[in-house]
Each structure stands twice: as structure tokens, then as C-alpha cells.
Amino acid sequence: MPGKIDAYVDCVSPYSYYATLYLRKNRKALESHGVEVEFHPVFLGGINVGSGNKPPWTLPAKANYSTFDSERACKYFGVPQIKTPDFFPILSIFPQRCMIYVKNNFPREKYETTFLSLWEWMYYKGVDISKPEKIGELFQSNGFSDSEIKAILAAASSPEIKQALTDNTQKALDKGAYGAPWFWVRNAEGKEEPFFGSDRFAFMWQYLGLPFQDVTLVEKESSKL
């Protein structure tokens, strides 16, 4: 395909959740224009350290604003208001490693829907998915067999999968990432640029040269006497 969106996402990032939902919703339209979408698990904690950034919940001004922004984002993307559990933020290394293995060994649809369930279980069910026994239950609910779950959990502690997550995270850093979701986008001309966040899709569509309908403010009609 002439165009591609590489999306670097982490289950600890609610904005990665919104972006994943939105890109999957629009995948058919993107593919009709020859644009591929691929989701890459990364460790956001490593990106923050590597870039010198700080997560929003550690800065009072950002944390206060996030309360408003989260509610607005949920309304815009058509999902229930997320509920931040008392154990948040989690150390997302283990679930992200699991998703590396799932991506490499299962069909794309199962990988992506399972990835979405990480956010859903944490934000809507209040489950600490960083714990192996809890994420094992999550995989079971997604139709994985006992032997498959055993293989996923074992792989998440293997040197190969540990290195794969490190490599993904470093690749995002090398492409300028300082948070998630981070996108590396190639257009039909072969040019590549970064995009950040779940609210820059209009800019991305422009860069890709895709036809789209932007947000248009409708003028109120004058009342008739």
C-alpha cells in the first residue's frame, strides 16, 4: 500500500484507547485509499524517561485539565466515561509484552480486539491488568485456550519478547516520540512525518492527501417573525 500509519500505543494511555478505536472505525475507508494501519505495543514509561517527558498525572495543572479533557474525549469518541481505578497508573510492561506475543502469533482482529479489552477491563471493570493472573482471565474471556494463555504468559517473561518491547519503544523514541499515542505516517509520495495524540487526525488526513469532512460550525438560522 502506498500509505501507512504506524501507531505506537500503550494500555496505560487512555488516549491510545481513543486513537485505536478511531483508526479501527475508519480502517475500511483508509484501506480504500491504500492506507494501512498497524498498532505497535510500546512501554510509555520508557518513552517518558527516554524523552524527558512527564505523565499528566504527575503535573497538577495537567492532572486538573485531564479531568475535563477525558470527559470530552469520551463523548467525542462515543464511549462511556472512563473510571480511573485506585491502582492507576499501572506498570504496563507485562501486558504490553503479552500483546507483542499475541500480535506475532494470532490473527490481526484477535490481536486488536484483545488489545482493546486491556483498556476496557482496567477502566470499566476496575481490573489490575498488570497482574498475570488477572490478564490470564482477560485472555480467557477473549476466547484463548488454556494452553494458549500459558504460552502467552510464559512468553511475556522471555528474553525475546522483553527485547521486542524494548525495540518497539526505542523505535518510537528514534522517531521523536514523547508520549502515546505516537504515529509515524508515510504518504503516497513516500514522505514520512510524526503525529501525536488522538486529536490530530484531520492533520493526518491532509498529510495523506485523503478526502475528508472537517468539523464545520453551522450558523444558527434567524428566527422568523
Phi/psi-derived region of residue 187, left when phi > 0, alpha when psi is between -120 and 50, beta in every other case: beta
Enter the C-alpha cell of residue 47. 518513552
Listed in order, strand segments (DSSP E) in the chain are: 3-9, 35-41, 182-186, 192-196
Distance CA 1, CA 35 (A): 6
From 13, 16, 92, 198, active-site residue: 13
Enter the C-alpha cell of residue 153. 504468559
13 classed as catalytic: yes
Burial class of residue 136 in the structure, from the number of CB atoms within 10 Å of its CB (0-12 exposed, 13-18 middle, 19+ buried): middle
Distance CA 145, CA 181 (A): 30
DSSP character at residue 216: -
Residues taking part in catalysis: 13
